[in-house]
């Protein structure tokens, strides 16, 4: 049973985070190489701006902001699910190889399967999901034992090994590619948010409209998977089945996000931890908070990155890593 005071605290935090996201969104709309005056943002949103203001806002800024918010939410939720099913606080789709698997598949697709520009955005999540699924199945097979089943710590260690191997494969793939294609893949690896047009939003949105409610629906199952396996089985949970379903959900969330943002790690590590420290370990409470924190963190990283060094900026993935890597080391030492 969730105490009313705890539920009230969650609602208050969700409200505060929503306000912070809205404020940061307004800042992100105004800042950039082609800036918009603050007093012109609302008139432009209402269709009363100049051609330049409307072009910058609706064709450049707004799609990028929406993509960043959606991807941050997906990565945070994916990380929360992985930490729940592995019972390991260091689990993250970028650390255990899921993002790398999606990246290798996208790189192969981009280099060797030319396709019309109009269809490219809709194929990317599918290709990323296929690569991430193949990777996660291999990780699952290597981590699974007939005697003891799927051991959470073994899953994480095998995933880290696959992540390193896939990074090497990515280097081999790009070493013989054309210069312009290597530039794209290099930006993808660095986490340079590139899918900043409306078609990428329409390609990503259906995945999240299905997967996020499904993951929230499974929050109670995640709580049970965090218990001892004998206890989970005793209350009627098919541990292996639920773990596999939730693993596929986490893979799909991460793959759909990185297909448009590039290889961004640590959002799925930091956001769930911060959420747990604020509202506790119950997933029905911390998953919505983690989603909001993930959106905020990635939008903050992207806004800082593209305004530090104009006009090219610094990829959001690098900004996130500068924060996330020390946080990962802190958790490692703490554990």
Residues 6+ apart with CB under 8 A from 5: none
- Residue 150 pairs in a beta bridge with 144
Q: Tens digits of per-residue pLDDT, 8-67?
A: 888 999 999 999 999 999 988 888 777 777 778 888 888 887 888 888 888 888 999 999
Question: What's residue 230's pLDDT?
Answer: 64
Q: Which has more pLDDT, 193 or 228?
A: 193
Phi, psi for residue 150 in degrees, rounded to 5: -90, 110
Q: What DSSP line would sit under 74-118, residue for residue?
A: HHHHHHHHHHHHHT-TT--TTTTTHHHHHHHHHHHHHHH----HH
Model confidence at 121: pLDDT above 70: no
Residue 38 DSSP one-character state: G
Tell me how far apart the alpha carbons of residues 153 and 164 are, in angstroms, rounded to a whole number. Answer: 17
pTM of the model: 0.89
Tell me how far apart the alpha carbons of residues 205 and 71 are, in angstroms, rounded to a whole number. Answer: 10
Return the percentage of the chain with pLDDT > 90, whole number.
Answer: 23
Given a contact cutoff of 8 angstroms between Cβ atoms, the answer to whether 81 and 222 are in contact is: yes
From the list 101, 63, 40, the residue with the least C-alpha distance to 250 is 101
Q: What DSSP line would sit under 257-315, residue for residue?
A: HHHHH-S--SHHHHHHHHHHHHH-S-HHHHHHHHHHHHHHHHHHHHHHHHHHSTTT---
From the list 317, 227, 219, 306, the residue with the least C-alpha distance to 10 is 219
Specify the CATH number for 78-284; select among 3.60.20.40, 3.40.50.410, 1.10.220.150, 1.10.3470.10.
1.10.3470.10
Q: Tens digits of per-residue pLDDT, 170-188?
A: 888 877 777 777 777 777 7
Q: Tens digits of per-residue pLDDT, 85-109?
A: 888 887 888 878 888 888 888 888 8
- Token pair of 33 as six digits: 């190489």
Question: What's residue 229's pLDDT?
Answer: 67
Q: Which has more pLDDT, 42 or 1?
A: 42
- Token pair of 86 as six digits: 């592995």
Q: Tens digits of per-residue pLDDT, 136-152?
A: 888 888 887 777 666 76
Model confidence at 70: pLDDT above 70: yes
> Quick one: CA dihedral 284, 285, 288, 290, positive or negative?
negative
Residues 6+ apart with CB under 8 A from 209: none
Among the residues of 176-282, which ranges form H helices? 179-189, 198-217, 219-225, 229-234, 239-261, 267-279
- Token pair of 233 as six digits: 């089985």
Model confidence at 202: pLDDT above 60: yes
Tell me how far apart the alpha carbons of residues 201 and 68 are, in angstroms, rounded to a whole number. Answer: 10
Residues composing the chain = 335
Residues of the chain with CATH 1.10.3470.10: 78-284
Tokens 């073994």 — which residue? Answer: 154
Q: Could you tell me what percentage of the chain is helix, strand and coil, using 3-state DSSP and rounding each to the nearest 5?
A: 80, 0, 20
Given a contact cutoff of 8 angstroms between Cβ atoms, the answer to whether 2 and 282 are in contact is: yes
Question: Of 41-45, 166-170, 224-228, which gets the smallest average pLDDT?
Answer: 224-228
């Amino acid at each position: 049973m969730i105490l009313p005071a705890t539920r009230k605290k969650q609602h208050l935090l969700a409200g505060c985070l929503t306000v912070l996201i809205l404020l940061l969104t307004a800042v992100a709309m105004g800042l950039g190489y082609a800036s918009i005056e603050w007093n012109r943002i609302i008139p432009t949103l209402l269709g009363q701006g100049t051609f330049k203001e409307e072009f910058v806002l609706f064709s450049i800024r707004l799609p990028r902001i929406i993509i960043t918010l959606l991807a941050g939410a997906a990565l945070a939720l994916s990380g929360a699910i992985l930490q729940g099913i592995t019972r390991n606080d260091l689990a993250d789709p970028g650390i255990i190889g899921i993002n790398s698997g999606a990246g290798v598949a996208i790189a192969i697709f981009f280099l060797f399967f030319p396709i019309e520009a109009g269809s490219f955005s809709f194929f990317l999540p599918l290709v990323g999901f296929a690569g991430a699924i193949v990777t996660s199945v291999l990780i699952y097979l290597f981590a699974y034992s007939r005697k003891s089943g799927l051991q959470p710590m073994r899953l994480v260690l095998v995933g880290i090994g696959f992540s390193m191997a896939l990074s090497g494969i990515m280097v081999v793939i790009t070493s013989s590619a054309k210069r312009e294609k290597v530039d794209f893949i290099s930006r993808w690896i660095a986490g340079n948010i590139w899918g900043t047009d409306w078609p990428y939003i329409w390609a990503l949105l259906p995945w999240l409209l299905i997967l996020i409610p499904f993951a929230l629906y499974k929050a109670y199952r995640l709580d049970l998977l965090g218990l001892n396996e004998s206890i989970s089985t005793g209350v009627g949970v098919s541990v292996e089945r639920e773990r596999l379903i939730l693993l596929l959900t986490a893979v799909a969330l991460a793959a759909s996000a990185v297909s448009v943002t590039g290889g961004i790690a640590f959002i799925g590590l930091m956001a769930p931890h911060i959420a747990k420290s604020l509202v506790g370990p119950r997933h029905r409470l911390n998953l919505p908070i983690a989603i909001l924190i993930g959106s905020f963190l990635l939008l903050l990283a992207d806004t800082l990155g593209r305004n530090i060094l104009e006009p090219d900026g610094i990829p959001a993935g690098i900004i996130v890593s500068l924060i996330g890597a020390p946080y990962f080391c802190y958790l490692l030492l703490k554990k």
